[in-house]
Amino acid sequence: MRIALVGYGKMGKIIDEIAQKRGHEVVARLKETPTAENLNNPDVVIEFSLPEVAFENVKACLENKVPVICGTTGWLERRSEIEKISVENNTAFLYGSNFSLGVNLFFALNEKLADLMKNVDEYSCQLEEIHHIHKKDAPSGTAISIAEGIFKHNSKFDAWKLDETKDNQLGIFAIREDEVPGTHSVFYRSEVDEIEIKHTAFNRNGFALGAVVASEWIKDKKGNFEMKDVLGL
């Protein structure tokens, strides 16, 4: 495939390496806004940039009829606009708060546990996420996805907030520490014990590989998708 990379920071460079190892051609490496000219006629765009420019980047690619895999978090209040643009331009958009296979299995496990715990009033629930000090948004997009998975099964909660759980708000503790790639934990605590599920990323390679796999999957598809569609979860 011909892959254009929009956003060329640490993640972009790792995606570049993995894409080429899997036999793809990287035809653009952009730090600027994509256009028909600088995209260089790709089959798919992989977008990992910054929250403040992600919407315009993705919009420009979709309006050029190019499918987009987007891993930038912190801009999702405009996701519905992007999904509408995707449909209007008869192309495809796939957003992932986290492209790691392990994390997406963790999402499924989290929903199963939330369903088991929904009627057990003795336990309170909290989330914790730890990331490197360079991460721009808090909480992480992955933590928000975990919270939304809990909301689907537990009517006690309908929103999240930073720090401790309060009333119907699920607390998320966001910690920024050194060069941590990403650690996410869900805790259910009672007066006598604690249940914890946890995912720890050792490096960024799992995220990058998942983004390339998603780009391979989305070729020739139309519509809006998530990683669970790619993995059949």
User: 132 among the known binding-site residues?
Assistant: yes
Distance CA(188)–CA(83), nearest Å, equals 34
Residues with Cβ < 8 Å from 108, sequence gap 6 or more?
Answer: 228, 233
Residue by residue, DSSP assigns 69-111 as EE---S-GGGHHHHHHHHHHTT-EEEE-S---HHHHHHHHHHH
- In 3D space, the residue among 22, 49, 55 whose CA is nearest the CA of residue 210 turns out to be 22
User: 72 among the known binding-site residues?
Assistant: yes
User: 184 among the known binding-site residues?
Assistant: no
User: 182 among the known binding-site residues?
Assistant: no
Given the residues 13, 135, 156, 161, the one annotated as active site: 135
Q: Is 135 annotated in the active site?
A: yes
Given the residues 59, 131, 184, 199, the one annotated as active site: 131
User: 31 among the known binding-site residues?
Assistant: yes
User: 91 among the known binding-site residues?
Assistant: no
User: 228 among the known binding-site residues?
Assistant: no
Q: What six digits make up the tokens of 21?
A: 């190892």
Q: Is 59 annotated in the active site?
A: no
Q: What six digits make up the tokens of 25?
A: 């051609």
Name the residues annotated as catalytic.
131, 135
Question: Binding site for NAD(+): what residues are annotated?
Answer: 71-73, 96-99
Residues making up the annotated binding site for (S)-2,3,4,5-tetrahydrodipicolinate are 132, 141-142
Which residue ranges make up the annotated binding site for NADP(+)? Answer: 31
Residues in the annotated binding site: 31, 71-73, 96-99, 132, 141-142
